Structure 1
């Protein structure tokens, strides 16, 4: 019998995040700090708008690009938050989560053999999406001593005559690192000089602490070179609604829309109506959740430092990335032993790239009560194995 499978797909490894999530879901009394999902319910007024759209029978396909009202609100949002001006008719595509936007952008832009620079540690989808688009992923290993930020020299050292795209994953999952405006300016200089494009994943843009998010697309000469990826899952606690978007140059968005048209048709209609309400009236909800995450962030960083684990202070997203090298265990060994001995699930840093070895991702998108219990168990584990 002929092999029915695509070898390119077979050779892609499953997500290292889901492995621990699946284990902990079947373990009694286990606490997971592994999944990057807000513990808040979607704010009621946003849910209500979704419910109302169903009650009014608004259950038909929208345009491939998304509801006009939603695309207008996305443009309004990007202008007031990032000082970016887009045309809702041509420059915005509403997608099934930010992940679809990443996939469609890479497929629309990559020719076979094009090199895509991926700073790691970073979100697990970038590398497989590049491979599925027949591109060549080139990993830039970010360094702990730089707080896992991308430097100008690291970028320059990775560019060849085949480089086409830089993935810019900030605020970062899993490290919580951000890039300041001055740091982004140095990156933008290289992008323009080398005639590259940027896929800027800004899904955590609303979750920064003590500093306002800056989009690289807002810097001079960068808007025409950047696809901005964002969505509603993290900022508005709308993970299950599966809604994201891309904004960028018309010629790229047109090709992304073609892919979206044939693969998806349109994003869920109910979710789109809810998202209009989120953008129009959701700022207070975002602020409330961000303030709560900030309290948890400070608690978790302090708790880890009290355990004697080195942990730089994250200023974005809802993750910390402590170093566990002092215990003489690999990331996998630590995570597996912690789960078996103390029933606490964290994600090995290697799930986000080989340079994540010796680190763990801990999500603080959980209640303080759960964090206290889980970190108490973890402190006991660290003391036992030190």
Structure 2
């Protein structure tokens, strides 16, 4: 198997369109990636020939749909190298997955004075749910600093633990710096101090294999729309030994065992945490997306994205008007930057007129923006289908924005 970007691009219909009369250069992949034809076809096929509610019916369509839904769960378990598909919970997205964990831990395991360690480069989705526990339960948030490239000081991290530390919640890969955090070592340290750890894999899962057993985390979350699947679907991995002791998150159908007028008992994980009709079509299509990813030359994909990032960093650094944020040599395919003296929203607008799509804003990372001394940046992020020529188009568009606005 050999990675061939032309073959990859041919599977993404949207890449053939134009924007403002220019070929689309889509570099907003850290926000959401485009979808291959296989995923598009799966959604259509499920809706046109095989759809019913899952788990509750005995008729043919329900059985077929339930089978496809649970096959998707099995695919996710394989994708993450989970020990069992019972450790895979379908959610509405990464945000919903973190909220689920924070909510259930707040019911019985985290209370007043208990400590939660977060890094300053977390996405708001891995900050705000823990703030809820600060506001409502009196939990204490402790902030792990990072250096200018997003590196974590493990000695400083370990020094943060006390007998009240119950939880660590940390990104696997920063959506601003692209830095990959040492989650395996952080999990080891957390467990040595009797704490649990959640890793936010929304940025990392799409950029190469993830092995939750090797990482040793208690929880791992990622979202479908950033792994070539649809929106409205996400995944929470939880160690079975942890899930078994946790109370439900929402109440409704599927998550129950027995419901009577004066009592209720609950289903086993993962169904205990999947109240109501799940995102059926989206889950099935996520399974297709992950199988599509696993069928690629993953070593070649990682090398391709690494080469794109290196090329972009070199080309952007060669200008005398662009400030880069985060330069770890092994960073993921995410580059935050600013044109000196020009607001990133203006930069993004000018780039869009050249057909180049980038993100501009605080990237749901306001604590990190404050540390960097800026309110916002532009951000280019790459996926399997991007090319070196598109990097060159980005740099040329930045030059035009500089000439126009400086």
Say whether 1:130 aligns with 2:141: no
Give runs of aligned pairs for residues 166-177 of structure 1, distance below 5 A. Answer: 166-177=168-179
Post-superposition offset of 1:198: 0.4
Structure 2 residue corresponding to 1:268, chosen from 270, 279, 295: 279
Match of 2:144 in 1: 140
Q: Distance in 2 between matches of 1:323 and 1:159?
A: 36
Q: Distance in 1 between matches of 2:211 and 2:241?
A: 24
Structure 2 residue corresponding to 1:85, chosen from 80, 83, 86: 83
Structure 2 residue corresponding to 1:375, chosen from 395, 401, 404: 395
Match of 2:237 in 1: 247
Match of 2:74 in 1: 72
Secondary structure, aligned partner of 1:247: strand
Give runs of aligned pairs for residues 132-281 of structure 1, distance below 5 A. Answer: 132-133=132-133, 134=136, 135-144=139-148, 147-179=149-181, 183-184=182-183, 186-208=185-207, 215=212, 217-219=213-215, 222=216, 226-235=218-227, 237-238=228-229, 240-250=230-240, 252-253=242-243, 258-262=248-252, 265-281=276-292
Post-superposition offset of 1:319: 1.4
Q: Is the 8 A contact 2:220 2:238 kept in 1?
A: yes
Structure 2 residue corresponding to 1:301, chosen from 290, 304, 313: 313
Q: Distance in 1 between matches of 2:50 and 2:211?
A: 39
Q: Is the 8 A contact 2:232 2:282 kept in 1?
A: yes
What TM-score, normalized to structure 1?
A: 0.70
Say whether 1:364 aligns with 2:381: yes
Q: 1:66-97 CA distances to partner (integer Å, 9 max, x unpaired)? A: 93322222222222xxxx422x23x2211111
Q: Distance in 2 between matches of 1:99 and 1:381?
A: 34
Post-superposition offset of 1:178: 1.2
Post-superposition offset of 1:227: 0.7
Post-superposition offset of 1:109: 1.4
Q: Is the 8 A contact 1:303 1:375 kept in 2?
A: yes
Q: Distance in 1 between matches of 2:316 and 2:336?
A: 10
Post-superposition offset of 1:117: 1.2
Q: 1:329-378 CA distances to partner (integer Å, 9 max, x unpaired)? A: 6xxx7435645887775234763532233583513248556654543343
Q: Is the 8 A contact 2:219 2:236 kept in 1?
A: yes
Superposed CA RMSD: 3.9
Q: Is the 8 A contact 1:115 1:163 kept in 2?
A: yes
Q: 1:109-164 CA distances to partner (integer Å, 9 max, x unpaired)? A: 133333221112221211111122434432222111xx312221221233344321
Say whether 1:335 aligns with 2:344: yes
Q: Distance in 2 between matches of 1:190 and 1:140?
A: 14
Q: Is the 8 A contact 2:80 2:210 kept in 1?
A: no
Count of residue pairs the alignment pairs up: 332
Secondary structure, aligned partner of 2:295: helix
Q: Distance in 2 between matches of 1:314 and 1:265?
A: 45
1:348 and 1:100, CA in 2 relative to 1: closer, same or farther beyond 3 A? closer
The structure where strand makes up a greater share of residues is 2
Q: 1:205-226 CA distances to partner (integer Å, 9 max, x unpaired)? A: 34448xx6564x425xx45xx1
1:115 and 1:34, CA in 2 relative to 1: closer, same or farther beyond 3 A? farther
Larger radius of gyration: 2
Deviates more, 1:294-303 or 1:257-266: 257-266
Structure 2 residue corresponding to 1:351, chosen from 355, 366, 374: 366
Post-superposition offset of 1:191: 1.1
1:277 and 1:213, CA in 2 relative to 1: closer, same or farther beyond 3 A? closer
Q: Distance in 1 between matches of 2:159 and 2:54?
A: 47
Q: Is the 8 A contact 2:158 2:189 kept in 1?
A: yes
What TM-score, normalized to structure 2?
A: 0.67
Match of 2:271 in 1: none
Q: Is the 8 A contact 2:27 2:380 kept in 1?
A: yes
